[in-house]
Amino acid sequence: MKKELVETLHSTTRLVKGFLQTVDNGRNHAICIDQPPEDGTDLGPTALELCVMGYGGCVATISLLIARNSKVTIRDLEVKVDALKPGEEGTVTETYSQIRVVTDAPEDKIKRIVEMAIRTCPVGKLFVKAGVKETHIITVEKE
């Protein structure tokens, strides 16, 4: 019988001033979050922007991990995510991602790697469970 490992992730948010806050992960890493100038000081992304940033970073990281495990070299990687937030919804309802990979590997192999990363990305799974519609465009460029 396989025993499942449960990992606990930590986050502590502390108010600095106004809407400016620090958020740390308990592993010596911290960032600031804030609101745009109309409410805050614009010294960091909003919490929702941070979620979208995390999604792009997650897809990139998982793509690199899968590529490494597949013995595929990625020379450059860029993930751009646009997230739509209709006013009446109050949150992200749709994402449009452009993923650009520079490599000498065959295009079909890279597309399979990136598609697997999209399916297995933990942040993306949260978006899927929340009903966020996703569109992904994968472009492979040779060096």
The secondary element (H helix, E strand) that includes residue 72 is: none
The full set of domain ranges for the chain reads 1-44, 47-141
Show Cβ contacts of residue 112 under 8 Å, excluding neighbours closer than 6 positions. Answer: none
> Could you say which residues of the chain have pLDDT below 50?
none
Structure token pair of residue 35 = 């609101």
The secondary element (H helix, E strand) that includes residue 26 is: none
Largest interatomic CA distance in the chain: 55
pLDDT at position 22 is 97
pLDDT at position 143 is 80
CATH superfamily placement of domain 47-141 = K homology (KH) domain (3.30.300.20)
Q: What is the mean pLDDT of the chain?
A: 96
CA distance 105 to 140: 9
For residues 90 and 52, the answer to whether their CB atoms sit within 8 Å is no
The secondary element (H helix, E strand) that includes residue 65 is: helix 47-69
pLDDT at position 1 is 61
pTM of the model: 0.91
> Could you read off the pLDDT of 100-139 as tens digits, one per residue?
999 999 999 999 999 999 999 999 999 999 999 999 999 9
Burial class (CB in 10 A: 0-12, 13-18, 19+), 121: buried
CA distance 17 to 83: 28
